[in-house]
């Protein structure tokens, strides 16, 4: 019973709308899924490479709101993940440097 009470308390203290959530993006050949997404400020975006990706990909930030430090993941073929917390509102454009058509747009809202 004590464990149940503690769980209820946690759910009350952490509303679903709070910042600090994580959204997962799946890497495919040759796409990011989802290709477009909107998240709240403070969301951590995690790019996940599946076990069986047939090709190598990376995640490079090619444009972002002012003041955002650029990031660039490793090149990886499978079983890798990379994450960044997006703390500035605006539009983030991601590209895979190995596949120019592989692009993603993330809108970060307050
Ligand atoms: Cu790629």
Domains, in order of start, for the chain: 18-109 (2.60.40.420)
- Ligand 1 geometric centre to CA of 47 (Å): 12
Percent of the chain clearing pLDDT 70 (strictly above): 83
Q: Which residues pair with 90 in a beta bridge?
A: 108
Residue numbers in the chain where pLDDT is lower than 50:
1-14, 19
Residues, beta carbon < 5 Å, ion ligand 1: 30, 57, 96, 98-99, 102
How far is ligand 1, taken at its centre, from the CA of residue 63, in Å?
Answer: 17
Q: Are strands 43-48 and 22-28 parallel, antiparallel or unpaired?
A: parallel
Structure tokens at 48: 């996940």
pTM of the shown model: 0.81
Secondary element (H or E) of residue 9:
helix 2-13
Q: Identify the residue whose tokens are 């747009």.
A: 105
Whole-number average pLDDT of the chain: 88
């Amino acid at each position: 019973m004590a464990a149940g009470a503690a769980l209820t308390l946690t759910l009350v203290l952490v509303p679903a709308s709070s910042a600090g959530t994580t959204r997962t993006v799946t890497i495919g050949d040759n796409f990011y899924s989802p290709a477009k997404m909107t998240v709240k400020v403070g969301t951590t975006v995690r790019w996940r490479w599946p076990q069986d990706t047939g090709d190598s990909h990376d995640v490079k930030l090619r444009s972002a709101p002012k003041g955002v430090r650029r990031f660039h993941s490793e090149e990886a073929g499978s079983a890798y993940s990379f994450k960044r917390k997006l703390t500035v509102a605006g539009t983030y454009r991601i590209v895979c440097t190995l596949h120019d058509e592989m692009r993603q747009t993330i809108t970060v809202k307050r």
